[in-house]
A and B are shown apart, each in its own frame.
Chain A
Amino acid sequence: MRAVVKNGIGVFSPQGFLDGNSSGAFLSIEDIEATLKLKNVNMILVSLKKVIFFNRNGLDTFVKMLTKVRTEKQITVGFCDYDYKKYEAIQKFYKDEFTFSLFATREIATLFATNYNKTPKNVLLYSEDKSQRSAMAIELHDNGHNPVVAQSEKDFNEKKANGKFDVIINNTYLGQMGQNVATRVTGNAIIYTLNSFLDAEIGHTFNIAYHNNSLNVGFRLFIFDAYKVISMNVHALNFFSKLSSAAAEYNATICFVGMNFNKTPISFKETMEDAGILFYDQMDDILGNKELLQELGAGTSVNTKNKRGLTKAIVSELPNFIEATVATLEMMTNAKAKKTAAEIHSLNIEHQEQKIASSIGYYGDLDGMIILVFPKNIAKKACELLIGEKTDDEELILDTLAELVNIVGGKIKTLLLDEGHHVNITLPRTYEGIDELLEVVNDKKGVQVDLTFENDEFLFFLTR
């Protein structure tokens, strides 16, 4: 079975009846590992939304697999999308042996996922277990939300009736959360979440290839969410100092937020500041200040270092890149594409108004960046299949466009693998306007392919 991956959460959705015979057929360790390899996933859940019957044997098979994955990969695992009856049954089956988390809905799980990239939510939460209430409140707060904790069921019902909350959390249980350095994207800033003690292990838990490619794709602001860091040793200090020096070559900024130096020598802070790292007390000090965001590079993404040329290997794979893009767009629009021109030059976009763009980076045996520029009407049409209806909601279209570009990236990955090239893809990035895109591309040369879909122009640009 394949998982649907969104916001860094991989969700498997079995349907029907789960028992000891069927659950092993629904999900395997290989399925989970394939999902983890696929994208930047740090939570694996099994949805019970479409499960009408389950028993202990059926869940046990899943729990064993999920626990193994959590131990090995340090990610959050559990179940989601259940009603009270199902929640009660799971509680009864496992009592005090919970090695996994329970999220009543996928939306609730998203609030606890470190890849979450939306606006802060006002959250009402209640659990009979006092320690669970506190644990959830801390996690939510750390993820930038505003939790209101109900102290009793009566209090919960009253607050629920009177208050205006974006999300209400009940029947949810937090098991052990992941320990890897998790990544999320907020606007054009990348936020990494750090935990507990930082030592030489950071070299393993931090995905440096992903970071480097985010620089290549044009991200210029990297924020380390360090609220939960207890202390740091000299190995970690060296790691971050080097990271900051490397980022400076791209004109990128590294910030630490919420780091306290009670158990870390204050001289480390000075060393890090010397390396160009900035410190802030609150995440909102940066994310809530648009001017500062611009100044730190989240708005302007001028690429000063990365002006690498296309390689022969990339050019020879160009047909695969184009095929993947065209096939995906044709699939999503049910329209045929025609290639009208293909040339090597800087990105040249005519009629820039009414166009939106997205990009995705790939790295591994080959590396580079693919940029797709859409007239808004093609973007809307292409997203209709995923959304299920026509929409003019720009934010929804941009979000869906990111999913679409993910599909293109996945297809490219498969086609390149057929040719023996192993690559991974970065998180997709979208651009509301062309100016923003041109700042990222910064006159870099690449292959530009102009295509038409039922007389609408569409542009593909491949660069490094």
Chain B
Amino acid sequence: MVTKKEIGEYIYKIPPASDALQQTLQFLNEGELTKAAQVAKEELALKAYLVNLVNKPIYGLKHQVDDISQIFGILGVSGAQQVVYHYMVSLLSPKEWKCFNLNETSFNSLQAELSAGWMDILQHLKIKNKEVESTIALLPASIIVAEALFRDKKQDVELLRENAEIDLNTILQRLCGMDLFDISAQIAQKWNMSTTIGALLLASSGSKKSSNEKVNLLSKWMHLLLFFTLSKPLYIQAGLNDFIEFNIEYVEDIYEDFQQVMDIS
């Protein structure tokens, strides 16, 4: 169905970050918001993406903001880095989705909702770390990878899943020895993202604990946030709710806190 060779080819074909993106990220890393905005302005697709994303209601801006310097100013260094990563991930998404019932708008909404939820969580946990903040941008990469690998095998996957309780992540793991999150972590590596991002991303699958307890704790919140978001009608109808397995046991100890943060009653 899917072979290791196909996965290798897929990762190989992922383009490296463009010079402009690398430069933008470099300036953000150095805390140079103005310089980063200057470079970002030149990348027109990035500019359009950022304007569209941050003006979504979930970001809570009172007025429409079209200027990149303003956007970066509002988001701050770590927020700006996160949305640039969101943009890079969105570049991998297909023009037309086959495996999942998504489009550019709904995928961007998913990114925005995950992002807003993650910021609330980090505020609750009193964590200010730009790498940790940015990891959420890579989480939907697992969905893009699943789409890329299974888009022409939708019927086969459906038939298989009628007969056995098996998610896409497990299918891939059993066939190729690596799963969607391993591939996402490799993408992060290819884009020279920090090792923290890769480790947190892997643990957020709910099936690969890290040796670092801090990473594990954060990954529980991320895993739960993912399923909180994927329980919304738009994403259930997109077929995302069961693309990976929700590990309830993994998140049990943080669930009550999560309920408070997300105001679930």
Which residues of A are at the interface with B, using a C-beta cutoff of 8 A? 1-6, 11, 13-18, 21-22, 24-26, 38, 49-50, 52-53, 327-328, 330-332, 334, 384-386, 388, 403-404, 406-407, 410-411, 414
Contact = CB atoms under 8 A, between A and B. Distances in A.
B242 A15 contact: yes
B28 to A, nearest CB: 33
Given A15-B242, A15-B246, A403 B163 contact: yes
Residue of B163, B170, B171, B174 with highest tally of chain A CB at under 10 A: B163
Interface string B1-44: 11100000000000000000000000000000000000000000
A16 B231 contact: yes
Given A22-B233, A410-B162, A411-B159, A13 B242 contact: yes
A33 to B, nearest CB: 14
B155 A414 contact: yes
Interface string B159-194: 111111110001100110000000000000000000
A226 B248 CA distance: 43
B245 A17 contact: no
A18 B231 contact: yes
B264 A24 contact: no
30 contacts: A1-B236, A1-B241, A2-B161, A2-B162, A4-B163, A4-B164, A13-B165, A15-B227, A15-B231, A15-B241, A15-B245, A17-B231, A18-B231, A21-B232, A22-B236, A26-B236, A50-B246, A52-B255, A53-B259, A53-B264, A331-B1, A331-B160, A334-B1, A384-B174, A385-B175, A386-B160, A386-B163, A386-B164, A388-B174, A411-B156
Given A26-B236, A331-B153, A386-B166, A2 B241 contact: no
Contacts of B162: 2-5, 38, 407, 410
B233 A16 contact: no
Interface residues of B, number: 37
Residue of A13, A17, A384, A406 with highest tally of chain B CB at under 10 A: A17
Contacts of B156: 327-328, 331, 411
B59 interface: no
Contacts of B259: 53
Interface string B206-235: 000000000000000000100110111100
Nearest to A11: B165
A385 B174 contact: yes
Nearest to A402: B163
Contacts of A334: 1-3, 175
B158 interface: yes
Nearest to B158: A2
